[in-house]
């Protein structure tokens, strides 16, 4: 289960992520940082203008390069061997390297998705099949808005943009992490605002509602959006922040007992908004995706039980398409969730 040191470390990483650089040389990290800027700023925007097949081939090539140049690649591969334990027989040890390579390809493809949100997002829309849109339309007929619960899974920002582009006003509860990293210069923050947030916010009803310590109005703002019959999205898979720990619920997740915050269910119960699950997964050709929206989750049980059903849905989505989950390479998130043993004084376990 979670240990306080892990949580403190996670929050300190958000504030000063240079701590991540303990593995690998400073030059390796600078190269990686420069590479990311080049990909987001130049390569991906240009490649996104190509026909889809070529666009995503460029993305896959970039993902391969990222994987080859990982400063802590050996440590990450060793850590990924925990996958077998977490997912049962879902992945064999010899598949780990292929899995890791695909993971980085998927991340590069997600950047390409955002670049294809230009205009009315048609360049991306023609590659994504949305299943269950009728569930969302039906939920909104009640006039209380709708909450889409997801995970850091698949191209959730890109595909949710398509929901907004399809006429459902949508706002996301989530942080732009560069705003919380004290190590970034204001110039770099501005870059990410332009290269990343601007593209997403073009397909949002309002700016992200960013939960953080002392920002207590987020749930009220979300309730206000729901009152206007809008869609609010939220990922429920991150490890809880220190302030939320007392509200966390233990739930079966990826073969362990994880601690997660059931805020999405509390919000649904307080506002009366229907709660639906939504997960996007990428096809084997890397460019086509499917976004599946569930029927409303029944809310008549107590909040913890309802939330455990949401966690079960996240668990099933990750097991079905494990490469789409973001947190495999984020050891601190896995530790924070209680999925991975926290490092001991002698070193990582």
Partner 1 sequence: MDDAVIRDYIGRELVRDPAVLPLDNSTPLLDSGVLDSLSLLRLVLFIQDQFGIVMDDLDVIPEHFADVDAICTYLRSRPDYEAAGSREDARA
Q: Which stretch binds partner 1 (CB under 8 A): 6-14, 238-246, 275-283, 317-325?
A: 238-246
Number of chain positions touching partner 1 (CB under 8 A): 19
Residue 263 touching partner 1 (CB under 8 A): yes
Per CB under 8 A, 211 contacts partner 1: yes
Sign of the alpha-carbon torsion through 317, 105, 288, 119:
positive
Q: Compare residues 63 and 211 and give the one whose CB is closer to partner 1.
A: 211
Q: Which is nearer to partner 1, 201 or 219 (CB)?
A: 219
Q: Is 266 in the site for partner 1 (CB under 8 A)?
A: yes
Q: Using CB under 8 A, which of 21, 221, 229, 305 touches partner 1?
A: 221
Among 78, 194, 243, 320, binds partner 1 (CB under 8 A): 243
C-alpha closest to that of 260 among 331, 204, 339: 339
Q: Is 63 in the site for partner 1 (CB under 8 A)?
A: no
Q: Let me know: does 328 contact 321? Beta carbons within 8 Å.
A: no
Q: Where does this chain touch partner 1 (CB under 8 A) — which range of 10-18, 33-41, 82-90, 263-271?
A: 263-271
Of these, 22, 89, 185, 246, which contacts partner 1 (CB under 8 A)? Answer: 246
219 contacts partner 1 (rule: CB under 8 A): yes
299 binds partner 1 (CB under 8 A): no
Which region among 4-12, 195-203, 262-270, 318-326 touches partner 1 (by CB under 8 A)? 262-270
Nearest approach, Cβ of residue 302 and partner 1 (Å): 15
Residue among 223, 249, 312, 341 that touches partner 1 (CB under 8 A) = 223
Minimum Å gap between C-beta 215 and partner 1 is 7
| Binding segment (CB under 8 A) for partner 1, from list 50-58, 59-67, 114-122, 264-272 | 264-272
Q: Which residues, numbered 308-347, are part of the site for partner 1 (CB under 8 A)?
A: none
> Which one, 44 or 222, has the nearer CB to partner 1?
222
Tally the C-alpha atoms within 13 A of residue 26's C-alpha that lie toward its C-beta: 0
The yes or no reply on residue 304 touching partner 1 (CB under 8 A) is no
Residues that bind partner 1 (CB under 8 A): 211, 214-221, 223-224, 243-244, 246-247, 263, 266-267, 270
């Amino acid at each position: 289960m979670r240990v306080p040191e892990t949580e403190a470390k996670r929050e300190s990483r958000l504030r000063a992520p240079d701590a991540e650089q303990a593995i690998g040389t400073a030059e390796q990290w600078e190269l990686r940082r420069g590479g990311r800027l080049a990909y987001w700023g130049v390569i991906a925007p240009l490649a996104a203008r190509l026909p889809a097949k070529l666009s995503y081939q460029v993305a896959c090539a970039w993902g391969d390069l990222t994987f080859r140049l990982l400063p802590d690649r050996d440590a990450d591969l060793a850590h990924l061997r925990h996958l077998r334990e977490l997912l049962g027989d879902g992945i064999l040890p010899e598949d780990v390297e292929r899995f890791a390579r695909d993971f980085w390809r998927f991340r590069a493809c997600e950047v390409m998705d955002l670049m294809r949100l230009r205009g009315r997002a048609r360049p991306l829309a023609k590659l994504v099949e949305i299943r269950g849109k009728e569930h969302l339309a039906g939920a909104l007929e009640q006039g209380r808005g709708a909450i889409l619960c997801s995970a850091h899974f698949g191209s959730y920002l890109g595909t949710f943009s398509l929901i907004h582009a399809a006429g459902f006003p949508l706002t996301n509860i989530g942080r732009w992490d560069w705003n919380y990293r004290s190590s970034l210069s204001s110039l770099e923050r501005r870059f990410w605002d332009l290269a990343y947030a601007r593209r997403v916010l073009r397909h949002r009803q309002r700016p992200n509602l960013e939960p953080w310590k002392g920002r207590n109005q987020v749930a009220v703002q979300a309730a206000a959006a729901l009152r206007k019959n809008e869609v609010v999205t939220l990922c429920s898979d991150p490890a809880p922040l220190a302030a939320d720990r007392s509200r966390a619920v233990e739930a079966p997740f990826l073969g362990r007992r994880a601690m997660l915050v059931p805020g999405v269910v509390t919000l649904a119960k307080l506002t009366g908004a229907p709660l639906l699950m939504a997960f996007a997964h990428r096809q084997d050709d890397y460019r086509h995706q499917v976004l599946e929206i569930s029927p409303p989750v029944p809310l008549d049980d107590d909040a913890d039980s309802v939330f455990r059903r949401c966690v079960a849905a996240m668990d099933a989505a990750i097991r079905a398409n494990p490469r789409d989950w973001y947190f495999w390479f984020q050891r601190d998130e896995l530790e924070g969730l209680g999925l991975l043993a926290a490092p001991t004084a002698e070193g990582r376990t």
